[in-house]
Amino acid sequence: MKEEFMRRAIALSVDNVKNGGGPFGAVIVKDNEIIATGVNRVTASCDPTAHAEVSAIRNASAKLGTFNLSGCEIYTSCEPCPMCLGAIYWARLDKIYYANTKEDAKDIAFDDSFIYEEIALKPSDRKLPSESLLRNEAIKAFQAWASKDDKVSY
């Protein structure tokens, strides 16, 4: 079954190129059944977060009515980028299967290595300038959350 699910992700990626999207496809599987798919629609939708894995996660979460996708696995046509990897962890998917590697993606100008390098740096040392503002005011929301009895943890 694993190969069939991966072939579906790969077919989605090939079809998406024909339809004006990027060469990425993903499927989310629960109990040996595809419950959601996604393709890269970054340029088509003018949404830099519209990667195949994120789209599949959004679709699976909507279908299952939960943000917690434990019990599900993702099959993606390429090793996830840092954003997608983060989304996969937050969604609590049980396993990632991928076909193409991040090096394969780099070879066709989808190079995420600079993001991996940036994440390892202190914010003050990153290429994208950032600074903390109004932390003393913002912390109030965190304090309210911490003391909330009926919060839904995630």
Given 53, 79, 103, 131, the catalytic residue? 53
53 is catalytic: yes
Here the tokens at position 108 are 């066709």
Here the tokens at position 150 are 């009926």
Token pair 């699910």 in the structure block, residue: 5
Is-contact 96 88, C-beta < 8 A? yes
Residue 60 CB partners (closer than 8 Å, separation 6+): 28, 30, 35, 36, 69, 72, 91
Closest CA to 83 of 55, 125, 124: 55
Closest CA to 25 of 61, 43, 50: 50
Count Cβ atoms within 10 A of the Cβ of residue 93 and give its class: 0-12 exposed, 13-18 middle, 19 or more buried. Answer: buried
For the chain, the residue count is 154
**Active site positions, annotated:** 53
